[in-house]
Amino acid sequence: MPQIYLCVLWHMHQPFYKDLISGEYKMPWTRLHALKDYYGMVQILEEFPEIHQTFNLVPSLMVQVEEYAAGNAVDPHLRIATKPAENLTQAEQEYILRNFIPLSPTKIVARFPRYVELCQAWQAADRNVGRALRLFSTQAFRDLQVLSQLAWFDEEILAHDPEIHELVLRGRSFTLEDQALVARKQTEFLRKVLPVYQEFASRGQIEISTTPFYHPILPLICDSNIAGVSHPNVPLPSRFRYPQDARTQLERSREFCRERFGAAPAGLWPSEGSVSDEALSIAAETGFQWAATDNGVLSRTLGRAAGVEETYRPYLWRHGGRELHMIFRDHYLSDLIGFVYQRLGAAEAAADFLGRIRENCRGILSSGRDAFVPIILDGENAWESYDQNGRPFLRELYRGIVNDPSFCALTVSEALKRIEPQPLDGIFPGSWINANFDVWIGAEEDNRAWEYLLRARQTYDRAVASVPEEARKLAYEELLISEGSDWCWWYGPEHHSDFRAEFDQLYRAHLANVYRALQLTPPEELSRPILKVEVAELHTPPTGPVRPKIDGVVTSYFEWLGAGIYRVDPRSGAMHGKKLVIQELCYGSDGQNLFVRIDFEASALAALSGVDAHFTVQPAADPSRSSFIVLSFRNGAVHAADLRLAKKDAGPDAVEYAFHKVLEARFSLAALEVPSGHALRMQLSIWKEGLPLDAIPQQGWLEISTAEPTDWPL
């Protein structure tokens, strides 16, 4: 009797949040999803031994889970969540309000009445920190610290772990001991994540497939110009062509899985289902036996719409003497689970899903052929919108499969042994999104990110021979991380997140680490956002000449009267979550010199040691004659760490600077080769330990007049 071979592949992935040089995890999402999804999605199969499935594990995700499980990873979110509420600083309280309370209610929050109450209090305060700080007591902050972690625990832990269940029942009035308990239970539970995959894989109930190590878009790493085939005339950056990096990402992925699970994976879910003939050839050469992508790619490969007849069968891709089994996900049904069924009851959603599969397969089965149904989707993010993290839906779904003799839930490799594949000569380059690569390349922000990556990669090629082996390895590792798809996912117009700015900053930090590892100064471009964000700037141009005394102190109100003033409004939406270092920049000229004053944020003053202020100044008429000045703060004093003036033989009096309460500096226009009366442009950036902290302006340049005093309007 013909069968429906249902192959469900759950893709488990988070970006690489760790800064390899500082060792800090910049965002908490790997830890939180490990608590909520990675263990429970497998463990639920204990109830349904007849259900076999494929789990796609990205190695860079597993590395992070391992470090959390070993107690070797910490992120700012966890550090603040476990700090005694009595000792929270105002900045930490603000962090909790902005990061522990979601912008819109979610079902994981709704399970906890006290959590809902605190969210409503934040809303009632109009998300105004000053107002909220008057409303939130120490106990309120502690409750928020505990509940923000409990909400991410797996349903089974919440219900069956006695200590955690007691916290759930109490629901409020948590203690310092409760904070410590939640932290301890997190580590205890994180240690179970990878072993559950090892256990179920060893018994044959699940198959583990994988993705290139740091989740790059393989076809674009092989040759970024391939995007022009998928979308003719799309604007492209300079060509990035490093197929050797694609091979490294694949080889390391297979080896990592072999070490952890005892066997190299047969299957590959290329990041975002992105494929090309070159990428698949490398995958086949590195030992993969099957790969998966979307049936939108199949449609473009076949030159016609791929219906269920075409989608519900495996293929054997052959190209250039290489071959690989290929499967193509049912885009529509996969997305129903990912984006639609959370709005239905569990039983209704499961019945609808299985009913659609039966209807789709009716013609195939009646012809005497088995149906191969590939369902592939994210295994983590969707469940936040489902009741009880999606567990009732999954139980109804698995129960329905077991009770229907026409269904057989298999791993991909199991199903491939039962159905003869169709030949496929070549594949159209594309991803699961619109069968092209537009999400990751083509938009202005995307292309700038690729240009920065290319420059870092080329710098590595030039400099690698002159650095020690350990530094070379670190630089290359940061390059591989920077090749990940997650950074460009948030660039361009397609996707929005409250954390886009944080992803942008983390991407630039990874690139900066490439240069740092190579013992080079990161380029100034990495100090400014790639994101085209709307930043509220308060900018008043100069109204007259200035001639301040350079002593690091504002000695009188009149000293900087007439100066231009520039500051970023920290209330700007684009500044959400960003720590500002510069409070205000004042600037002006007396016709012979450029004067600059930096007022630092009070919270930043105590941490200025180790900070570098980078000034780039250019004549507006000739930007090729740049001056580059670095003033470094060490032990309460400031000194010139780098002076590269346009005029090579400028004397020692060309630059003057002092710091006490503010930083004041004077730059000779002659040394900058800016003729008196002409315009110049300037950028300022603040760095610490080789990483960018702040920049003025956030985008572009400050245009500054150097007109003689007599030329100023009265």
CATH fold, domain 4-28+30-64+193-221+240-425, is 7-stranded beta/alpha barrel (3.20.110)
Determine the pLDDT at residue 567: 85
Determine the pLDDT at residue 699: 78
Residue 604 pLDDT more than 90?
Answer: no
Query: Given 1.20.1420.20, 2.60.40.10, 1.10.10.10, 3.30.70.260, which CATH number is that of 537-711?
Result: 2.60.40.10
Contact indicator for 583, 601 with CB cutoff of 8 Å: yes
Would the CA dihedral through 35, 37, 39, 44 be positive or negative?
Answer: positive
Integer Cα distance of 487 and 500 in angstroms: 9
Residue 353 pLDDT more than 70?
Answer: yes
The per-residue pLDDT for range 647-666, each reduced to its tens digit, is 998 888 899 999 988 999 99
Supply 201's token pair.
């894989």
Determine the pLDDT at residue 557: 75
Integer Cα distance of 197 and 208 in angstroms: 8
Per DSSP, the residues of 65-134 read HHHHHTT----HHHHHHTS-GGG--HHHHHHHHHHSS-SS--HHHHT-HHHHHHHHHHHHTTT-HHHHHH
- The residue type found at 402 is V
Contact indicator for 221, 213 with CB cutoff of 8 Å: no
Asked whether the whole model's pTM tops 0.85, one would answer yes
Query: Mean of the per-residue pLDDT values for the chain?
Result: 93
Burial of 376 (0-12, 13-18, 19+ CB in 10 A): buried
The per-residue pLDDT for range 543-589, each reduced to its tens digit, is 889 999 999 998 887 889 889 999 876 554 444 445 678 889 999 99
- The residue type found at 57 is L
Q: Is 121 left (phi over 0), alpha (psi -120 to 50) or beta?
A: alpha
Determine the pLDDT at residue 572: 46
Helix (H/G/I), strand (E/B), else coil: 407: strand
Average pLDDT over residues 452-480: 97
Integer Cα distance of 618 and 635 in angstroms: 31
Contact indicator for 194, 61 with CB cutoff of 8 Å: no
Give 714's pLDDT tier (boundaries 50, 70, 90): very low
DSSP 705: E
Average pLDDT over residues 498-515: 92
Residue 535 pLDDT more than 80?
Answer: no
Q: For the stretch 559-595, what's the b/e string if a residue is b when 16 or more beta carbons lie within 10 angstroms of its beta carbon?
A: bbebbbbbbbeeeeebbbebebbbbbbbbbbbbebbb
Supply 250's token pair.
């694949």
Would the CA dihedral through 418, 423, 427, 430 be positive or negative?
Answer: negative
Torsion on CA atoms 13, 278, 282, 218, rounded to nearest 10: -20
**Per-residue H/E/C for 359-399:** HHHHHHHHCCCCEEEEEEEECCHHHHHCHHHHHHHHHHHHH
User: 71 φ, ψ to 5°?
Assistant: 75, 15
Give 518's pLDDT tier (boundaries 50, 70, 90): very high
Average pLDDT over residues 517-524: 94
Residue 189 pLDDT more than 70?
Answer: yes
Q: Where in the chain is the domain with CATH 1.20.1430.10?
A: 444-527
Integer Cα distance of 584 and 563 in angstroms: 12
- Per 3-state DSSP, what percentage of the chain is helix, strand, and coil (rounded to 5)? 45, 20, 35
Per DSSP, the residues of 587-643 read EEE-SSEEEEEEEEPHHHHTT-TTEEEEEEEEETT-TTS-EEEEEEEETTEEEEEEE
Query: Given 3.10.580.10, 1.20.1430.10, 3.30.70.1350, 3.30.70.20, which CATH number is that of 444-527?
Result: 1.20.1430.10
Per DSSP, the residues of 279-339 read HHHHHHHTT--EEEEEHHHHHHHHTS---HHHHSS-EEEEETTEEEEEEEE-HHHHHIIII
The per-residue pLDDT for range 61-113, each reduced to its tens digit, is 999 999 999 999 989 999 999 999 999 999 999 999 999 998 776 888 999 99
Percent above pLDDT 90 for the chain: 80
Give 500's pLDDT tier (boundaries 50, 70, 90): confident
Determine the pLDDT at residue 712: 47
Q: Where in the chain is the domain with CATH 2.60.40.10?
A: 537-711
Determine the pLDDT at residue 102: 86
Q: Which residue has the higher pLDDT, 714 or 494?
A: 494
Residue 688 pLDDT more than 90?
Answer: no
Residues pairing with 681 in the sheet:
618, 703
Q: Where in the chain is the domain with CATH 3.20.110.20?
A: 4-28+30-64+193-221+240-425
Checking 472-476 for CB contacts under 8 A at 24+ apart, the result is 472/517, 474/20, 474/21, 474/513, 474/517, 475/513, 475/514, 475/517, 475/518
Determine the pLDDT at residue 574: 42
Helix (H/G/I), strand (E/B), else coil: 27: coil
Helix (H/G/I), strand (E/B), else coil: 708: coil
Supply 470's token pair.
């350990």
**CB neighbours (10 Å) of residue 693?**
20
Supply 616's token pair.
């780039």
Structure-token match 């990402």, residue found: 249
The per-residue pLDDT for range 39-67, each reduced to its tens digit, is 999 999 999 999 999 999 999 999 999 99
Strand 53-57 relative to strand 4-12, pairing: parallel
Supply 435's token pair.
């069968």
Supply 299's token pair.
């449609």
